[in-house]
Structure 1
């Protein structure tokens, strides 16, 4: 007979793919569109023995990130595996997340940062290739000076899209394929460069007229 049932999530779509017992309750891994930083995020839920929520955490960037398996670790934390489109070298990459007992991810020896938070993140523009316009998404962890600019294949500045101090969190800007004087640029390869603090990230963009 059923002892109890519980539901978890928010106004979006939420999935649970793996559950493990430990530390007087259960740990659930899945993905969510209700919470987090991007399109889909890894969703980690800690419950007590009765299934009531103790805490929830999300991990990921601006793209599609999912957790498919979770297990307790010997130090009292958790290990989660899944896939990510936000980070890594390709379209989809293996995503392995190690947390402490409270679901926090240690960064630089500290465990007091937001779970899964990365210092900076520049997403691949979408669509890519593009014809008329493309959207560039990026995120920063705190208030800081940010520059987002487009360069041609020779390294010459085409247009500065963002320059100033921005608030933390995700941001988006649209490039309409024009230079700083409002003139349409030709088909070819361009590079979008994000500079924030000491970090510089670049993405390759293809414009097809």
Structure 2
């Protein structure tokens, strides 16, 4: 039984690569080979119970003088939204949910996820997807929660 459970987890993890959230569109945002933004690996990873998620917004995003709209969402292996982390050091204040949040200048930023779902319950151990969307373009990383 234990071996079957281990094999099942490995198979689900491997299949997880195919379960990219349906809303993922253009990855990375750059058509000229240069990226307009970057979702960096979260740290620590694996984590229990919380993690930081760094991301970079390049100067090219702000060339037109308008703010950039950023969202970060966490998904489980079944492509179900689990949570949205909060912004750290955002000009409007810490702790704002990172959903359609406007940034007015380029730089390195960070989000924080406490490992809880939208209802406030701790999530189960396993792999999760972290998707950033910047002005309609997306990038994704994989994260692991361990208990």
Partners of 1:118 and 1:150 in 2: how far apart?
22
TM-score, normalised to structure 1, is: 0.43
Partners of 1:198 and 1:174 in 2: how far apart?
21
Counterpart for residue 208 of structure 1: 146
| CA RMSD, Structure 1 to Structure 2 (Å) | 1.9
Task: Say which structure, 1 or 2, has more relative contact order (CA 8 Å, 6+ apart).
Answer: 2
Whichever structure has more strand as a proportion of its residues is 1
Counterpart for residue 36 of structure 2: 119
After TM superposition, the structure 1 = structure 2 runs for residues 157-196 of structure 1, keeping only pairs within 5 Å, are 157-161=81-85, 162-163=98-99, 164-167=101-104, 168-196=106-134
Structure 1 unmatched ranges of 5 or more: 1-106, 109-116
Runs of 4+ in 1 over 3 A off after TM superposition: none
Q: Deviations over 1:95-150 (max 9, x none)?
A: xxxxxxxxxxxx94xxxxxxxx7301000111111111111000113331111010
Counterpart for residue 68 of structure 2: 144
Larger radius of gyration: 1
Structure 2 unmatched ranges of 5 or more: 1-30, 86-97
Q: How many residues align?
A: 96
TM-score, normalised to structure 2, is: 0.60
